[in-house]
Structure 1
Amino acid sequence: MASGDETQHGSAPLTCLVTGATGYVGGRLVPELLAAGHRVRCLARSPEKLRDQPWAGQVDVVRGDVTDRASMIGAMRDVDIAYYLVHALGTGAGFEETDRKAARLFADVAAGAEVRRIVYLGGLTPSDVPVSQLSPHLRSRAEVGEILLAGPVPATLLRAAVVIGSGSASFEMLRYLTERLPVMVTPSWVGTRIQPIAIRDVLRYLVASARMPDEVDRAFDIAGPDIMTYRDMMERYAKVAGLPHRLILPVPMLSPRLSSHWIGLVTPVPRSIARPLAESLRHEVVCGEHDIARYVPDEPGAPLAFDEALALALLRVRDAQVMTRWSNAAVPGAPSDPLPTDPDWAGGSLYTDVRERDVHAPASALWRVVEGIGGENGWYSLPVAWALRGWLDRLVGGVGLRRGRRDAARLRVGDSLDFWRVEEIEPGRLLRLRAEMRLPGLAWLEMRVEETGAGRSRYRQRAVFHPRGLFGHAYWWSVSPFHAIVFGGMARNIARAAEAETG
């Protein structure tokens, strides 16, 4: 064992193995463990998926699989705490047996390696329903927990219901359903009581579990303070997200199978994941105890209330109710930041228009044109269209185009620029603007300059739109036919202006 004679609840660093580091929870847990002073080893079937993580150089990454004994033996060597954060949901009809075999192997190898503790994040299950009658998803989670507890290594099982955080499959279902449907014909499970938990609290409990006293060998229910129905969750999501009230009409004949088809039509969450999650929503999942507080005392303001968790998951600053940088895509430092390993369908809808041009002018000349955009210089495409958009914005109470710019040649972060705001600037390389016009969503315009050599450069332009509600989606598709003229012309004319400057 890596830590000698120190006890788990001492202060010496522990060596932690994180399985599922390429997944939603695991990818967020790793930096929290590092921040707590622990050493971290990640087990991944595809280690290359972790190379873009900001913490990749601080951890030991090994290739392997929880169903492969040889790779597990190597991964467990000199490990104190082993986090089991994998499951076979979405892999097909045989996922329950795969989960059983993997859990048995994990417990067996951990015992042989003299691992001090296994920590597992499972699903909250109703106390009055036999395991055999649970949905396949919850049944498998419960069985994995029982297997790990039955092994010789002390285990901490954390049982959670819906996890509120951008990237969580359950939360993404909630996000897409509520944002895309102002009127919903829903299954009867919208009336099922649920006790959700913020990803921030899940991570807090997971990290603290590494220091559990040696004698602790049991399951704990973990959740936030709010008990509500799925309907309540959708209505409160709409309120926090600034959407109009949603009309929700439950229809009893919508079975879990039909529900999964319905979810598949409305959301990009894969049906292989949506179906078992929808089947699980028929069960009431409310905590039967809060014993975890004996070992992980509740901090001020924790666990987070549902609305607070939503505000973080929606990437909003709670007081201002505005999104921060889309490039960082989160409240700074919040553990709900989208990560490189998050699935493509996580994070809500994001529409983009991308343009790129090779420019026969040095990067310095191209940058001068980019930094001088707006104000008297205009936007390099269809001045009448930009003027009309500014006039319409003023008509509905927006800022319009009259603000111009502070300086004719230089920009800095925070400057107003017509109906944009300079969000970020890297001199000579990057200008990112955030729209302050009245829109049914949030919008950014990014312009990049790259030196390509021999007096030439490349111009990259990207417009990004995060729609709010069904009207936001309709807005994007109504204006997208004009993007080739507006954004395409803008990229073309910026390139020409830089070339003209150099003769």
Structure 2
Amino acid sequence: MRCLVTGATGYIGGRLVPRLLAEDHTVRCLARKAGRLRDVPWSADVEITEGDLSRPETLPAAFDGIEVAYYLVHSLGRADFEALDRAAATNFATAARAAGVRRIVYLGGPEPPADDRPSAHLRSRAEVARILLASGVPTAVLRAAIIIGSGSASFEMLRHLTERLPAMVTPRWVRNRIQPIAVRDVLHYLAGCAALPAEVNRAFDIAGPEVLTFGDMMQRYAAVAGLRRRIIVPVRPLTPSLSSYWVGLITPVPNAIARPLVESLIHEAVAHEHDIAAFVPDPAGGLTGFDRAVRLALTKVRDAQVETRWSTASGPDASAEPLPSDPKWSGGSVYTDLRERAVAAPPAALWQVIEGVGGEHGWYSFPLAWTVRGWLDRLIGGVGLRRGRRHPHRLYVGEALDFWRVEEIVPGELLRLRAEMRLPGRAWLEMRAVPAGDGHSRYLQRAVFLPRGLAGHAYWAAVAPFHAVVFGGMARNIARGAEQM
């Protein structure tokens, strides 16, 4: 089928596109600026059309020849987001009807109880659903609560609150029941809705297999992430408005986004039906449990961030990997120290120095600091520097190197080491030799630290002042060593 995806630069849209491509659909993406999709791994496999849902005159070309149109946009983060979303949905519906689109698919939010005063966020989501259902084009509205996956704003709030606060005073809504769903299952239903019968024009609840409270999710997240059980004390005075400022202070999620999301948490969000399964069968193996969804998000995104690459895979777990279009505040905390030096020597000479690191050769800077770090590691039960290296000039993947492990090596180009010293987190050190022409080269060095809990953030803050001496000196001396060969 010929599918149009709006919101392809967003969290869900950017992950739905490769799923649709894997199922042999032809995909067109509507974006205000095509350049925002330049670096995503699937950009060469789709048609990108520039247009703006707030400007109806830009839409006919995007909808021309389209059979299924996905509405995956919202204006959350703007003070007037309700009015903007209302206008965008109306323009989308009008353009879809005029172009003869056969199906609209919309991912919305949970339906709050009728006797509650819904938050502005849920009220707007419900209004968009009504507009699309009344468009004259058969529409499927999927109503999801919290989506578990790295990059989801709600998940990022959960992640950072849990990781950064071993003890917290919380609003009472942490006891409200929620039925979260893994992003891989959301994408399964979205893609499946492309083939719904023409007579289907309704909303469906989609949810994972477990009903939890927000407090339960924080405790379960902590267990999966290897953190101690969190101390959570719910209190009455923290209103949604006050708690949204608290979330904005503790997490990197912008307050303009955090506030409407937090206000939505005053409503319980439990699925009332599972009718979607009659049209789109559940994923093979069943719906993804909360713990597994968290584990996928943590493992996939952390490995990808360390390697600074984006997978082109289209399998069910690829949705957990990061995209260049994800917001900067998504993906968890990653601390980096980057160093670069021009080297007046060929890459081969530079690589010889890089591969000689550790053991008797040392670490090329501030020997006392490395020695003290090794002693401290042994005092707390770590391996210290005593392992050395097996060969004075050659390294191999998997071998020990002092208190590091060789994780990846591309001869002449790349050495990546994974830390095995005792740390409140995970750490890597990467060194590269890059040709620069005229017999010269560039040395690239990157240290990456993924903190675990508040102790991890405190550790990085404590050692960061010494990085200029340790890592800066290391880069200078490696470059100098290559030039003197």
Range of TM-score over shorter length = over 0.9
Per-residue CA distance 1:35-68 (angstroms, 9 max, x = gap): 1111110111121111111111000001111122
- The answer to whether the 8 Å contact 1:201/1:302 transfers is no
Note the C-alpha offset of 1:325.
6.6
Distance 1:441 1:111 in 2: 52
Per-residue CA distance 1:209-257 (angstroms, 9 max, x = gap): 1111122111110010111111111111111111111111112111111
Indicate whether 1:292 and 2:286 are aligned: no
Note the C-alpha offset of 1:200.
0.5
Distance 2:74 2:283 in 1: 30
- The answer to whether the 8 Å contact 1:315/1:330 transfers is no
Q: 1:48 to 1:325 in 2, by over 3 A?
A: closer
Note the C-alpha offset of 1:267.
0.8
Q: 1:194 to 1:329 in 2, by over 3 A?
A: farther
Indicate whether 1:411 and 2:395 are aligned: yes
- The answer to whether the 8 Å contact 1:330/1:336 transfers is no
Per-residue CA distance 1:434-483 (angstroms, 9 max, x = gap): 11111100111111222222222111111111110011011111111211
Distance 1:41 1:217 in 2: 23
Match of 1:11 in 2: none
Match of 2:299 among 312, 315, 321: 315
Q: 1:117 to 1:97 in 2, by over 3 A?
A: same
Match of 2:307 in 1: 327
Match of 2:455 in 1: 471
Match of 2:99 among 106, 113, 118: 113
AA paired with 1:273?
I
Note the C-alpha offset of 1:353.
1.1
Unmatched 5+ residue regions in structure 1? 1-13
1:337-376 aligned within 5 A: 337-376=321-360
Distance 2:186 2:428 in 1: 32
- The answer to whether the 8 Å contact 1:23/1:341 transfers is yes
Match of 2:241 in 1: 257
Match of 1:445 in 2: 429
Distance 1:355 1:336 in 2: 29
Q: 1:34 to 1:330 in 2, by over 3 A?
A: closer
Match of 1:8 in 2: none
1:85-96 aligned within 5 A: 85-92=72-79, 94-96=80-82
So what's the TM-score if we normalise by structure 1? 0.92
Q: What's the secondary structure of 1:242's corresponding residue?
A: coil
Q: What's the secondary structure of 1:335's corresponding residue?
A: helix
Note the C-alpha offset of 1:376.
2.2
Distance 1:328 1:447 in 2: 14
Q: What's the secondary structure of 1:471's corresponding residue?
A: helix
Match of 1:71 among 41, 44, 58: 58
Note the C-alpha offset of 1:330.
9.2
Distance 1:129 1:198 in 2: 29
Match of 1:233 among 214, 217, 224: 217
Note the C-alpha offset of 1:423.
2.2
1:19-418 aligned within 5 A: 19-92=6-79, 94-129=80-115, 133-315=117-299, 326-327=306-307, 333-418=317-402
Match of 2:439 in 1: 455
Match of 1:425 in 2: 409
Moved over 4 A (4+): 322-325, 328-333
Per-residue CA distance 1:306-363 (angstroms, 9 max, x = gap): 111111111269xxxx967722689985311111011111111111111111111111
Q: 1:316 to 1:25 in 2, by over 3 A?
A: closer
Note the C-alpha offset of 1:126.
2.5
Per-residue CA distance 1:273-295 (angstroms, 9 max, x = gap): 00000100000110000011111
- The answer to whether the 8 Å contact 1:179/1:469 transfers is yes
Match of 1:492 among 445, 451, 476: 476
Note the C-alpha offset of 1:383.
2.0
Distance 1:217 1:425 in 2: 54
Distance 1:367 1:242 in 2: 37
- The answer to whether the 8 Å contact 2:340/2:475 transfers is yes
- The answer to whether the 8 Å contact 1:312/1:330 transfers is no
- The answer to whether the 8 Å contact 2:336/2:448 transfers is yes
Unmatched 5+ residue regions in structure 2? none
Match of 1:4 in 2: none
Distance 1:300 1:120 in 2: 23
Distance 1:364 1:166 in 2: 39
Q: What's the secondary structure of 1:465's corresponding residue?
A: strand
Let me know the Cα RMSD of the aligned residues: 1.7
- The answer to whether the 8 Å contact 2:185/2:283 transfers is no
- The answer to whether the 8 Å contact 1:316/1:330 transfers is no
Note the C-alpha offset of 1:401.
2.0
So what's the TM-score if we normalise by structure 2? 0.96
Note the C-alpha offset of 1:195.
0.5
- The answer to whether the 8 Å contact 1:328/1:337 transfers is no
- The answer to whether the 8 Å contact 1:323/1:330 transfers is no
Q: What's the secondary structure of 2:261's corresponding residue?
A: helix
Number of aligned pairs?
A: 481
Distance 2:399 2:376 in 1: 22
Q: What's the secondary structure of 2:53's corresponding residue?
A: coil
